[in-house]
Structure 1
Amino acid sequence: MTAETTETTGNTRTTTGFRTVTAYAAERPNGPLVRTTVRRRALGTRDVAIDVHFTGICHTDLHQVAEDWGAGTFPMVPGHEIAGVVSEVGPDVTRWKVGDRVGVGCFVDSCRDCANCRAGLEQYCTGEGGTVWTYNSTGHDGLTTYGGYSTGLVVDEAYVLRIPDALPLDAAAPLLCAGVTVYSPLAHWGAGPGRRVAVIGLGGLGHLGVKLAHALGAEVTVLSRSTRKREDALRLGADDHRATTDPATFTELAGRFDLILNTVSADLDLTAYLGLLRVDGTLVQLGAPEKPVRVSAGALLDGRRSLAGSQVGGLPETQEMLDFCAAQGVTAEIELVGADRIDEAFRRLAEGDVRYRFVIDASTI
């Protein structure tokens, strides 16, 4: 990360000039990712500069580049599963020092004053400007945010997370999104000893859902279309693996689970899956299907069942998750790729050809 001239932005937080970093960006919707340079904001008094070492490739990156969720800002630098090392700190920074192992997840700012922000739920910020996402977003300073497919970034110290020494940076990177996305509902709905949890899908989210639910002490069942990944599921900590293409699965497991995590974005018959919940059970939707979710009211009324949704976790919960993973030895199963293979990784991810998370080695950028 190199500093340019000593020009300032007019922002009172600015202490040095803009800096440029090398990055991989999509220059147009659905376009290939190409090597380029982007400007990071000047290092503010409460900012930290981070040398990126590894960045996970999330399915969200595919959706954003394709504008599946609305118009994007291009050039777009994806990446919100970022692990690296602090290289510089602003004069008023108190939480971090040069050399600290840190991570950045899905957001880099919020209003800090609404009820949700004060409760550590920054991902649900309702204040002025709302949540500022790590890329394809506009910061409160008016600058476009660029993600972790790059060699460095600048982030307010409050939105940086500590990666414990027990976690290797490459396998820790996916925890910053995929890990906390499944940990948050597991923690919120009380997965633990004596609780039965089902995980729909064994992909980037699902495999971490299995690992974390098992580490929390729950009985875990994987529900997927075929038995192709049965051995993987059991190795990762599942107690059972059932194929959803087998009608017997829905009769034999009826009323069994306290909590179901749906980690896939496919259009599923959620009414059938709600029937697998016991009284007061909850099915949590984590994937974002293209079509509106439809369920039978009877499936909710019968057994006082709930259908809920969940995003990523807030800063306190994400740090809690990282510390828990370090204590329990939980990391993502990854395939490390060089920057010249990002487009290949996008294609393979779209085809489901990864076990279970691609991670970019930023030294190749």
Structure 2
Amino acid sequence: MSIIRSYAALEQGQPLQAFDYDAGELKAHEVEVKVEYCGVCHSDLSMIDNEWGGAKYPLIAGHEVIGTITALGSEARGLKVGQRVGIGWTADSCQHCDCCIGGKQVLCQNGTTATIVGHAGGFAESVRAGWQWVIPVPDDLNPEVAGPLLCGGITVFDPLLRHNIQGVHKVGVIGIGGLGHIAIKLAKAWGCEVTAFSSSPDKTQEILDMGAHQVVNSRDKDQLKALRGQFDLIINTINVSLDWMPYFAALAPEGKFHTVGVVLEPLAVPAGVLIGGAKVVTGSPTGSPLALRQLLRFAARTQVEPTVEVFPMSQINDAIQHLRDGKARYRVVLKADFE
């Protein structure tokens, strides 16, 4: 048997409890990673609370893992025992459909295996994933803060790659929380002119310190109107409905409005808005293994680090409550302390 210690939700919405489980035999294509750090994401809370439906308990969440390899399956390639690596939202994909063969594994036609959906995640001493989704961590990237890059980071980095954004472009970011603050830091390091849209004027100086060139009050119609026709890309990170028309109007010709926030209501987009400026409304999940590797290398080279608060994993319920209370600035990270 291969017994792994973890913290699991035994019932919907309940505090996590210590939970040991038998992981079974390591599959040929899998890698086992000893967890050093694991970020806490709102998606973890959604699974624990079964907000999306279909959660199965006991549920072991955690999908922003940084750790070291302890075992390699016989088919794992390009990795070695003792190497520091990361595992994000996706733990596996089929590797043989057109999307996987084409390097778009995150869009796997047979369905990706999410690290925390029907799979044991990183709120544990060890976690497993298919070797292609086990991402090498550069030596000069701080492991304590790197975990959130593997979910929140790649979520806002992929739009830069997808839309061929360059340093000459203007990028707007709606919502400066766990996702938005990383988007600002990455877009600034990418060389872009960055505008933050925030409903919290008291955070203005803090947002400027993150790298934004200007902060716009998202509740000020006059400020929004003054930005008409400026942005090559606007990334929406919030999951609540707004009046989207001022943001569509703020796009430059051929500009892209890209949402990574899961807004439950349909986005009302008049056809004339799209046709008149050849504008585009898009969305995306996380990113491919290649994009994840590129992100970690870029973050290491430019010293982009998410702003985190670190809790011992043994205080996981305190950390989760801190996030539930909206007090996180801006990502919560757990440090494994099983030994």
TM-score (norm 2): 0.95
Would the aligned equivalents of 1:20 and 1:37 in 2 still touch at CA under 8 Å? Answer: yes
Would the aligned equivalents of 2:91 and 2:128 in 1 still touch at CA under 8 Å? Answer: no
Q: How does 1:40-79 map to 2 (within 5 A)?
A: 40-79=23-62
Distance in 2, Cα, partners of 1:123 & 1:94:
19
Q: How does 1:1-365 map to 2 (within 5 A)?
A: 4=1, 19-127=2-110, 130-137=111-118, 145-364=119-338
Task: Give the drift of 1:267.
Answer: 1.5
Q: 1:114 to 1:285 in 2, by over 3 A?
A: same
Would the aligned equivalents of 1:30 and 1:65 in 2 still touch at CA under 8 Å? Answer: yes
Task: Tell me the amino acid that sits aligned with residue 190 of structure 1.
Answer: N
Distance in 1, Cα, partners of 2:169 & 2:278:
17
Task: Give the drift of 1:31.
Answer: 1.5
Report SS of the residue matched to 1:183. Answer: helix
Q: Which moved more, 1:289-298 or 1:112-121?
A: 289-298
**Could you list the per-position Cα deviations for residues 57-95 of structure 1 after superposition, in whole angstroms to 9, with x for gaps in the alignment?**
111111112222222111111111100001122344442
Report SS of the residue matched to 1:204. Answer: coil
Task: Tell me the amino acid that sits aligned with residue 276 of structure 1.
Answer: A
Q: 1:347 to 1:300 in 2, by over 3 A?
A: farther
Distance in 2, Cα, partners of 1:345 & 1:324:
29
Task: Tell me the amino acid that sits aligned with residue 85 of structure 1.
Answer: T
> Which consecutive unaligned segments of at least 5 residues does structure 1 have?
5-18, 138-144
Report SS of the residue matched to 1:282. Answer: strand
Q: Which moved more, 1:200-209 or 1:336-345?
A: 336-345
Task: Give the drift of 1:46.
Answer: 3.5
Distance in 2, Cα, partners of 1:64 & 1:102:
24
Distance in 2, Cα, partners of 1:148 & 1:363:
13
Distance in 2, Cα, partners of 1:186 & 1:133:
23
> Which consecutive unaligned segments of at least 5 residues does structure 2 have?
none
Task: Give the drift of 1:348.
Answer: 3.0
Task: Give the drift of 1:347.
Answer: 3.1
TM-score (norm 1): 0.89
Task: Tell me the amino acid that sits aligned with residue 14 of structure 2.
Answer: G
Would the aligned equivalents of 2:230 and 2:251 in 1 still touch at CA under 8 Å? Answer: yes
Identity of aligned residues (%): 34
> What count of residue pairs does the alignment treat as equivalent?
339
Distance in 2, Cα, partners of 1:345 & 1:249:
37
Large movers: runs of 4+ above 4 Å: none
Task: Tell me the amino acid that sits aligned with residue 156 of structure 1.
Answer: G
Would the aligned equivalents of 1:40 and 1:153 in 2 still touch at CA under 8 Å? Answer: no
Distance in 1, Cα, partners of 2:56 & 2:216:
42
Would the aligned equivalents of 1:109 and 1:156 in 2 still touch at CA under 8 Å? Answer: yes
Report SS of the residue matched to 1:117. Answer: helix
Report SS of the residue matched to 2:202. Answer: coil
Report SS of the residue matched to 2:316. Answer: helix
Distance in 2, Cα, partners of 1:256 & 1:49:
47
Q: 1:297 to 1:344 in 2, by over 3 A?
A: farther
Would the aligned equivalents of 1:269 and 1:295 in 2 still touch at CA under 8 Å? Answer: no
Q: 1:307 to 1:333 in 2, by over 3 A?
A: same
Task: Tell me the amino acid that sits aligned with residue 359 of structure 1.
Answer: V
Instruction: Report the RMSD for the aligned CA atoms in angstroms.
Output: 1.6
Task: Tell me the amino acid that sits aligned with residue 151 of structure 1.
Answer: E
Task: Give the drift of 1:264.
Answer: 1.0
Distance in 1, Cα, partners of 2:234 & 2:168:
15
Distance in 1, Cα, partners of 2:4 & 2:84:
20
